[in-house]
């Protein structure tokens, strides 16, 4: 099937229009995100007003800014006015001051007030991602009255499937599902249907934690309250998925020793890709000089038993891999709430035993390989070193992310490459020290 960029390159305007009319908004957004600035704006201008808003909300903030910069004032105002307040706030968070000022100036007073309220919450908090456009029900209403409220105000709300129930002070008492209202008798009181033991989040809580709470409790919408339990909005499932995806993308990038990209991979320039990776590579290059220093320190031992050098790549590679495995598991466990910083000692004990067991299994292989190539004495050195390196690497890899968390550093920053580089240097110390003791050199 011909994609949108190909149709534009062939100047097939009719084909491009037909493609845009038949594809869902998320597919159009994906194609636009892959394009350069000029083609992206050209493609977006071909969309009608309603479809343009749907596609625009599917784009990442950096791509939204690119589109806005290419629109004239009337189209600009219509687009930002039609956005949901939470999507608009997320876009403005990353927008240059000039773009943000232009966006706010183009809004009606009501939309500007809602957007400003969301921007007032801390960056990365639930308040930045929630929708304030909700239908809240009073608990003293009957089902018939509640459905009438939904009919009157539902068109202005982002979602009506989950309906928060509040008291006269707008404090949250629970939620009721639209399905329950539709299936219940008209004269039943809402208070009889309300689910009081419902998960909720404060507007200042981290958005990632709230999103993972939704996944754990299997809710489509999470009520958001202020410090006095007054309802301020709902975190919807589509926004929760975006939060988790963004957090996971950032973690994966940092675990591989890079900064997360701010835009679609296919639209990022070679310079942007390089800039995201070069800092960590430089840091790791400097850290790797530790390995050179250790080798230099044990130069005499290498001259005495030159065969020791044969196993250096094997040992540091194994230790690095064991550390990277433990670090990845620890970062992931922290992200999903399976491990807390208070579990540090338990994690040390678990990873140390795991590393010892792995080392013993690998030592058997190392003993056989070493005996076949260089003799039993050096094979014993290799086998003992494998046990010690695996235990050390697993312990370091498993605990460094927890220590980073305690120090309020993103655990993903203590990435697998960083752990690998550290274990490489310390692994050589273990290797040469073991050789001195076993071989008596």
Classify 234 as helix, strand or coil: strand
Q: Mean pLDDT check: name the lowest of 195-209, 273-287, 366-380.
A: 273-287
**Same domain membership, residue 432 and residue 290:** yes
CA angle 284, 290, 293 (to 5 degrees): 145
From 71, 94, 129, give the residue that closes a domain: 129
Which pLDDT value is given to residue 7?
Answer: 59
For the cut 70, the answer to whether the pLDDT of residue 243 exceeds it is yes
What is the model's pLDDT at position 188?
Answer: 92
- Tell me how far apart the alpha carbons of residues 147 and 101 are, in angstroms, rounded to a whole number: 39
195 and 93 share a domain?
no
Q: Which H or E run includes 79?
A: helix 73-82
pLDDT at res. 360: 93
pLDDT value at position 359?
92
Give yes or no: residues 48 and 117 share one domain. Answer: yes
User: Is 103 a residue whose pLDDT tops 60?
Assistant: yes
Residues 435 and 311 in one domain: yes
pLDDT, the chain, mean: 83
pLDDT tens track for 355-384: 999 999 999 988 888 787 777 888 898 899
- Are 390 and 434 part of one and the same domain? yes
- Is the pLDDT at 349 greater than 90? The verdict is yes
pLDDT at site 288? 61
Among candidate residues 78, 103, 129, the one where a domain is terminated: 129
Residue 261 domain flag:
no
113 shares a domain with 170? no
Domain hosting residue 89, numbered range: 4-129
**Whether residue 176 has pLDDT greater than 90:** yes
Residues 184-196 pLDDT 10s: 999 999 989 999 8
C-beta separation of 115 from 89 below 8 A: yes
Split at pLDDT 50, 70, 90, the class of 201 is: very high
Q: Which helix (H) or strand (E) holds 388?
A: helix 376-406
CATH of residue 198: 3.10.580.10
102 vs 284, more confident: 102
The string over 379-410, giving b where at least 16 C-beta atoms fall within 10 Å of a residue's C-beta and e elsewhere, is bbbbbbbbbbbbbbbbbbbbbbbbebbeeeee
Q: Are residues 125 and 164 in the same domain?
A: no
Domain identity same for 327 and 369: yes
The domain that contains 58 carries what CATH number? 1.25.60.10
| Same domain for 209 and 141 | yes
Same domain for 343 and 359, yes or no, is yes
Nearest to 224 by CA among 153, 84, 127, 128: 127
Domain-embedded: residue 256: no
Tell whether 235 and 278 lie within a shared domain.
no
For residue 295, being part of any structural domain is answered with: yes
Q: Which of 72-81, 106-115, 394-403 has the highest mean pLDDT?
A: 394-403
pLDDT at position 425: 80
Report pLDDT for 230. 93
Split into its structural domains, the chain has a count of 3
DSSP label at residue 441: -
Does 262 reside within a domain? no
Q: Is residue 287 part of a domain?
A: yes
Regarding whether 152 and 117 lie in a shared domain, the answer is: no
Asked if residue 341 is part of any domain, the answer here is yes
pLDDT at 228 over 80: yes
* Residue 270 CB neighbour total at 10 angstroms: 7
Tell how far CA 284 is from the center of its chain. Answer: 23
Boundary (domain end) residue, out of 99, 129, 159: 129
Say if pTM beats, i.e. exceeds, 0.75: no
* Predicted local distance difference test score (pLDDT) of residue 285: 64
Q: How far is 249 from 388, CA to CA, in rounded Å?
A: 34
CB contact at 8 A, 410 and 249: no
Confidence of residue 281 (pLDDT cuts 50, 70, 90): low
Which CATH number characterizes residue 354's domain?
A: 1.10.357.20
């Amino acid at each position: 099937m011909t994609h949108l960029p190909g149709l534009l390159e062939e100047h097939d305007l009719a084909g491009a229009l037909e493609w845009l009319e038949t594809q869902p908004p998320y597919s159009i957004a994906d194609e636009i995100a892959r394009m350069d600035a000029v083609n992206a704006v050209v493609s977006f201008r071909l969309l009608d007003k309603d479809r343009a808003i749907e596609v625009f909300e599917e784009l990442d903030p950096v791509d939204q800014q690119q589109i806005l910069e290419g629109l004239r004032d009337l189209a600009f105002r219509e687009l930002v006015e039609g956005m949901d307040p939470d999507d608009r706030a997320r876009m403005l968070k990353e927008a240059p001051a000039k773009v943000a000022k232009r966006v706010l100036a183009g809004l009606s007073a009501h939309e500007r007030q809602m957007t400003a309220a969301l921007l007032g919450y801390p960056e990365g908090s639930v308040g930045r991602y929630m929708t304030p456009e909700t239908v809240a029900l009073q608990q003293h209403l009957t089902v018939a009255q509640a459905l009438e409220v939904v009919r009157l105000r539902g068109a202005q709300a982002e979602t009506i499937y989950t309906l928060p129930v509040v008291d006269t002070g707008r404090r949250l008492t629970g939620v009721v599902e639209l399905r329950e209202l539709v299936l219940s008798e008209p004269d039943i009181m809402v208070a009889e249907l309300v689910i009081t033991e419902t998960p909720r989040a404060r507007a200042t809580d981290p958005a990632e934690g709230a999103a993972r709470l939704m996944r754990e409790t299997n809710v489509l919408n999470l009520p958001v309250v202020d410090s006095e339990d007054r309802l301020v909005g709902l975190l919807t499932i589509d926004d929760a998925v975006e939060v988790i995806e963004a957090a996971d993308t950032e973690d994966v990038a940092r675990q591989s020793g890079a900064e997360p990209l701010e835009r679609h991979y296919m639209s990022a320039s070679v310079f942007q890709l390089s800039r995201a990776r070069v800092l960590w590579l430089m840091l790791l290059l400097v850290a790797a000089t530790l390995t050179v220093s250790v080798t230099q320190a044990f130069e005499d031992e290498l001259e005495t038993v030159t065969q020791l050098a044969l196993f250096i790549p094997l040992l540091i590679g194994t230790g690095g891999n064991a550390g990277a495995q433990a670090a990845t598991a620890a970062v992931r466990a922290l992200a999903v709430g399976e491990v807390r910083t208070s579990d540090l000692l338990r994690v040390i004990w678990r990873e140390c035993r795991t590393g010892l067991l792995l080392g013993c299994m690998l030592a058997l292989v190392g003993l056989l390989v070493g005996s076949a190539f260089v003799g039993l004495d050096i094979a014993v050195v290799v086998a003992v070193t494998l046990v010690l390196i695996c235990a050390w690497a697993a312990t370091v890899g498993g605990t460094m992310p927890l220590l980073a968390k305690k120090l309020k550093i993103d655990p993903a920053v203590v990435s697998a490459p960083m752990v690998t580089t550290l274990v490489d240097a310390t692994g050589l110390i273990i290797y040469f020290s073991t050789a001195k003791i076993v071989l008596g050199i």
